[in-house]
Structures are given as structure tokens and as C-alpha cells.
Amino acid sequence: MSRTLNQAMGDAHEKHLAETLGMRQTRGSGNQWRDQMDAKHDRTSTQYAFAVDGKSTLGKSVSVTRDMWDKAVEQAGGERPMLGLRFYDSGALKVHADLVACDLLDFAELLEAAKAWELAKPLVQKLIKDHGLESALPALAGEGETALLRELLK
């Protein structure tokens, strides 16, 4: 396998991770000592800020080692560490599976927040409708909140 194909696989995976998770790709695939990992959330924007290191392969397996995890924890720089694992089917970059690995307690915290939102959403929708705020919400939205507003107005 050529270095060019490996680089293309890694670049495509890192870009997809950043776009899908609403992250910023780091310069040089995280090779800067002040900005490690492949992509990161802005930790000031959410308590659920992650930093992800992507691993991709055309092979049948991806090893996750203790050293790999320890490095991700260290390089996350305050964000929650995550490993993105991608399996490609071919050199044409056809994706077979995209997986992530994160700390169990981080995942449990995300599930609790999702459950809380499921309970709160109908109440928030009712408040918005009862007070006629539907038209004011788009003006109040910041970047990244548009999908949330669409969900609220359903």
C-alpha cells in the first residue's frame, strides 16, 4: 500500500470526523505540539467537548492499545479523548464502517444529557408556542444551534 493511499485514507477520515462531530480539524493532523489530536471541539462552547484521533485501515482489524489510549488522554488537552476507527472496503475509499471509542463515563454522561433533553423538549416547545416565540428564535440562534431550533419547532 502506498503512502499516498494511506494519507488519502487518513485525510478523508479526519475530515469526516470533524464535519460529523462539529469539530475543528487541527493543523498537520495534530502534529503541532500546541494542537495535538486530529480534530477538537472548542471546550468553551460545550461541556461535552471531545478531541479525536482517527485511525483507518483497509485491513480486517484496528488495534486499540493501552498506549494509544493513554496518548489520546494526554493529547486531548482538557477535552474528552476519543478514537475514531474507520474500516475501508477498497482503495477507492468506500467506507465499510465508522466507529468511535470513548470513555464509558463520558458516554454515560452523554446518554444522561440526551435523556434529560427528551424529557425537557416537550416543555420547551410548549413554552415557545405559548409565548409566540417561534419567529424570534432564529435571531437568537448562534452558530451550530440551527439544527436544535429546527428540532424545537417541529
Helix (H) or strand (E) holding 67: helix 66-75
Strands ordered across the beta sheet of 50-57 = 24-25, 39-40, 50-57, 80-88, 95-102
Domains of the chain, CATH where assigned: 3-102 (3.40.1350), 108-152 (no CATH)
pLDDT tens-digit series, residues 76-87: 988 999 999 999
Q: What's the confidence (pLDDT) of residue 76?
A: 92
pLDDT tens-digit series, residues 91-113: 789 999 999 999 999 999 999 99
This model's pTM is above 0.85? no
Strands (E), the chain: 24-25, 31-32, 35-36, 39-40, 50-57, 80-88, 95-102
